[in-house]
Amino acid sequence: MSDIDSSTVVKIAELARLAMDESQLEGYARELNAILELVEQMEAVDTASVDPLAHPIDATQPFREDEVSEPNQRELFQSIAPSVADGLYLVPKVIE
Amino acid sequence: MFQKSLLELAEGLRRKAYSSVELTTAFLDRIRQHDGVLNAFITVPEQRALADARAADQRLARGEGGVLTGIPVAHKDLFCTQGIKTSCGSRMLDSFVAPYNAAVIERFDAAGAVLLGKTNMDEFAMGSSNENSFYGPVRNPWDTDAVPGGSSGGSAAAVAARLCPAATGTDTGGSVRQPASLCGITGLKPTYGRISRWGMVAYASSLDQAGVLTRNAEDAALMLGVIAGFDPRDSTSVDRPVPDYVAGLSAPFPGLRIGLPKEYFGPGLDPEVARLVTQAVDELQRLGADVREISLPNTALAIPAYYVVAPAEASSNLARYDGVRFGHRCEDPQNLHDLYSRSRAEGFGAEVKRRIMIGTYALSAGYYDAYYLKAQKVRRLIRDDFARAFESVDVILGPTAPTPAFDIGAKADDPVTMYLSDIYTISANLAGLPGISVPCGFVAGRPVGFQVIGPHFEESRLLNLAHHYQQHTDWHLRAPNLD
């Protein structure tokens, strides 16, 4: 069906936000193609009239009342963050 | 005391043959003695374990508590444990100290169990050999050149080596059953939705389910009874009564209809494994089972469908690791994009990146129908195969894994060959069915297990079969010599 080359690897890595060296591209292309070859064995069966199955036991999404159920634990959660100040998460400047 | 089952240990605690502190200390000593070689544990929080044990002793002295009160239990390192590192086997979460407890941990805490340690695993539960851990591979206690299986390899090795009486695991494509088989212990993956996944680090959400790794079926029944049940915090948790699994063990067995799928005994199955599984079937027949051949015609499509569904869901679940709120962050990010992509490139290992990449590709514009939608359709065919089979049989039996444990490094460079280790376990995840692996012999000193798959929510039937088998065989009593 499809053949992944180095430029496709660059595109997927960009979508997945994974930094990648030039030297890794060919290796990834080879491995991803091997996995796709396995995956494409699905083509052996005709599924035109089959409905997709999203959930193994046909459950539907449960609902609950829209009420506050969790206390605010900002300090606890920020205690494990890489970089915070004044209750905010710090990242590099986004807008110049 | 290391060879005792959970019920025997509980009885000893009640008789005051030993206290929970003495029991816990003995297991901590044993871990110190042997885990340098096995590497089954990532974290052993000794002070916490002893504090749990002291609290349990007080409960027991007051005549309170249940069967698990005072019993040390190990947990796969993807169950969040408040105040204790929860790494998921990943550099990404090497610094992550969970701010809350997983539902499974809450249940064990409430039962008075002792949190003995957090076990090693394939990174983010992706793997079948436990070689994909940031903390190094786990060794199989039966043969330290061999893998223990994965992804719950640390839990399986720890139970097999008697470093803990029982452990938890998770099973997305076979990650409880396959390592149980390779380590010669009992491993149960319940029905999708049976155990709350609150606080369980997500891999593939339509497949993930917690499970237990134990010495025998009786212990598995006991553990499942503690952790099964509805939890509104997990939207996939199913609100159904939890049967008394221990009481169900001794229910009469003769007449149970066992189906052997011909597709599970075909090419690719090691002939020695086939011989041992057939021997186990003969034993079950002697016990009164009615054995017949069945067909699950779409079996060959299970691995292809899984390697679309699981990576696609993983690529979405693992998007949360961005180096902003928790987890690994790269040094000196130049801008936000650089922060995301370098933190992720440094934090994730090779197999996790491969699955994120394949999942991202499968979900990307133009490919969704060909891969993800197709896989979901195949998933229905696989589930329907089982539904048809269960019209004429009560359970389905076959090998758990196609081979005994392989050598460390043997498949490490070939991901696709590694994926085939889960060929008999993956279908049950796609269909949401419960499955159990039961030890049934050895090939050249390495254990082999058979697998039993049942209809949704029929864990009791699987445990009952395994228990009857274990009453008449002693494979589950064999322990590796660690010296």
CA distance A29 to chain B (A): 10
pLDDT at A58 exceeding the cut of 80? no
CB contact under 8 A, A52 and B373: yes
Which residue of A3, A11, A17 is the best one to mutate when testing the B interface, meaning the one whose CB has the most B CBs within 10 A? A17
Closest residue on chain A to B367 (Cα): A2
Dist. CA B476–CA B159, nearest whole Å: 11
Which among B9, B131, B132 has a CA at the least distance from the CA of B70?
B9
C-alpha torsion sign, points A47, A48, A54, A59? negative
Which among B474, B398, B413, B479 has a CA at the least distance from the CA of B445?
B479
CA distance B324 to chain A (A): 7
Instruction: Give contacts of A8 with chain B, Cβ < 8 Å.
Output: 361
pLDDT above 90 covers what percent of chain B? 97
Instruction: List Cβ neighbours of A64 (8 Å cut-off, separation of 6 or more).
Output: B232
Q: Average pLDDT in the A66-80 region? A: 92
Q: Which neighbouring-strand residues pair with B213?
A: B167, B187
CA distance B44 to chain A (A): 20
C-alpha torsion sign, points B46, B87, B115, B182? negative
Cβ atoms B142, B192 nearer than 8 A? no
CB pairs under 8 A between A and B: 169
CA distance B298 to chain A (A): 9
Instruction: Give contacts of B383 with chain A, Cβ < 8 Å.
Output: 53, 56
Residues of B with catalytic roles: 76, 151, 175
**Which H helix or E strand runs over B214?**
strand B210-214
CB contact under 8 A, B354 and A39: no
CA distance A49 to chain B (A): 9
Give me the pLDDT at residue A2, please: 61
Q: Which residue has the higher pLDDT, B483 or B160?
A: B160
Give me the pLDDT at residue B365, please: 87
Find the range with the poorest average confidence among B22-36, B253-267, B394-408, B432-446: B253-267
Instruction: Give contacts of A19 with chain B, Cβ < 8 Å.
Output: 338, 341-342, 344-345
pLDDT at A96 exceeding the cut of 80? no
pLDDT at B137 exceeding the cut of 70? yes
Using DSSP's 3-state secondary structure scheme, residue B168 falls into: strand
pLDDT level of residue A63 (50, 70, 90 thresholds)? confident
Instruction: Give contacts of A75 with chain B, Cβ < 8 Å.
Output: none
Give me the pLDDT at residue B477, please: 97
Name which of B339, B376, B432 is nearest A52 (Cβ-Cβ): B376
Instruction: Give contacts of B352 with chain A, Cβ < 8 Å.
Output: none
Q: Average pLDDT in the B56-84 region? A: 97
Q: Average pLDDT in the A34-63 region? A: 91
Cβ atoms B246, B225 nearer than 8 A? yes
Instruction: Give contacts of B208 with chain A, Cβ < 8 Å.
Output: none
Cβ atoms B436, B189 nearer than 8 A? yes
Which among B251, B252, B285 has a CA at the least distance from the CA of B397?
B285
Query: ipTM of the predicted structure?
Result: 0.95
Dist. CA A70–CA A73, nearest whole Å: 9
Cβ atoms B190, B154 nearer than 8 A? no
Instruction: Give contacts of A4 with chain B, Cβ < 8 Å.
Output: 361
DSSP letters spanning B370-402: IIIIHHHHHHHHHHHHHHHHTTT-SEEEEESSS
Give me the pLDDT at residue B254, please: 80
pLDDT at B253 exceeding the cut of 90? no
Dist. CA B95–CA B370, nearest whole Å: 39
H helix intervals, B193-334: 217-227, 245-248, 271-286, 302-317
Name which of B95, B206, B340 is nearest A55 (Cβ-Cβ): B206
Q: What is the pLDDT of residues B324-346, one digit of tens each?
A: 999 999 999 999 999 999 999 99
Give me the pLDDT at residue B388, please: 98
Closest residue on chain B to A93 (Cα): B335
Strands B446-453 and B435-443, how do they pair?
Answer: antiparallel
Burial (Cβ within 10 Å: 0-12, 13-18, ≥19) of residue B41: buried
Give me the pLDDT at residue B257, please: 97
DSSP letters spanning B304-315: HHHHHHHHHHHH
Cα–Cα distances in angstroms (integers) from residue B98 to residues B73, B113, B128, B210, in the given order? 19, 19, 26, 18
Residue B257 structure tokens:
């209809």
Torsion angle, alpha carbons of B116, B117, B122, B123, to 10: 140
pLDDT at B440 exceeding the cut of 60? yes
pLDDT at A57 exceeding the cut of 90? no
Cα–Cα distances in angstroms (integers) from residue B36 to residues B30, B31, B76, B300, B482, in the given order? 11, 8, 18, 40, 12
For tokens 């959660």, what's the residue?
Answer: A77
Whole-number CA gyration radius for chain A = 22
Residues of A numbered 29-68 whose beta carbons fall under 8 angstroms of chain B's beta carbons: which are they?
31-32, 34-45, 47, 50-57, 59, 61-62, 64
For tokens 């920020």, what's the residue?
Answer: A78
Dist. CA B72–CA B77, nearest whole Å: 16
Dist. CA B463–CA B456, nearest whole Å: 14
Dist. CA B418–CA B416, nearest whole Å: 5
pLDDT at B114 exceeding the cut of 80? yes
Residues of A numbered 74-93 whose beta carbons fall under 8 angstroms of chain B's beta carbons: which are they?
76-77, 79-83, 89, 91-93
- Specify the length of chain A in residues: 96
CB contact under 8 A, B345 and A20: yes
CB contact under 8 A, A18 and B364: no
Q: B153-160 and B20-38 are packed helices; what angle lies between their axes, rounded to 10 degrees?
A: 120
CB contact under 8 A, B415 and A76: no
Mean pLDDT of chain A: 92
Report how many helices (DSSP H) and strands (DSSP E) chain B contains, helices first.
16, 11
Give me the pLDDT at residue B98, please: 96
Hey, what domains does chain B have and what are their CATH numbers? 1-483 (3.90.1300.10)
pLDDT level of residue B245 (50, 70, 90 thresholds)? very high
CB contact under 8 A, A89 and B333: no
CB contact under 8 A, B323 and A82: yes
Q: What is the pLDDT of residues B176-235, one digit of tens each?
A: 999 999 999 999 999 999 999 999 999 999 999 999 999 999 999 999 999 999 999 999
Residue B86 structure tokens:
């929860």
**Which H helix or E strand runs over B452?**
strand B446-453
Mean pLDDT of chain B: 97
Give me the pLDDT at residue B122, please: 98
Torsion angle, alpha carbons of B453, B456, B459, B461, to 10: -70
CB contact under 8 A, B378 and A45: yes
C-alpha torsion sign, points B314, B99, B94, B162? negative
pLDDT at B26 exceeding the cut of 90? yes
Residue A71 sits at the chain B interface (C-beta within 8 Å)? no
pLDDT level of residue B159 (50, 70, 90 thresholds)? very high
Residues of A numbered 1-30 whose beta carbons fall under 8 angstroms of chain B's beta carbons: which are they?
1-2, 4, 8-9, 12-13, 15-20, 28
Name which of B358, B380, B432 is nearest A51 (Cβ-Cβ): B380
CA distance A84 to chain B (A): 9
Cβ atoms B119, B158 nearer than 8 A? yes
Q: Average pLDDT in the B130-134 region? A: 97
Strands B114-119 and B186-189, how do they pair?
Answer: unpaired
pLDDT above 70 covers what percent of chain B? 100
DSSP conformation class of B143 = B
Dist. CA B72–CA B114, nearest whole Å: 4
Instruction: Give contacts of A33 with chain B, Cβ < 8 Å.
Output: none
CB contact under 8 A, B371 and A39: yes
Give me the pLDDT at residue A55, please: 85
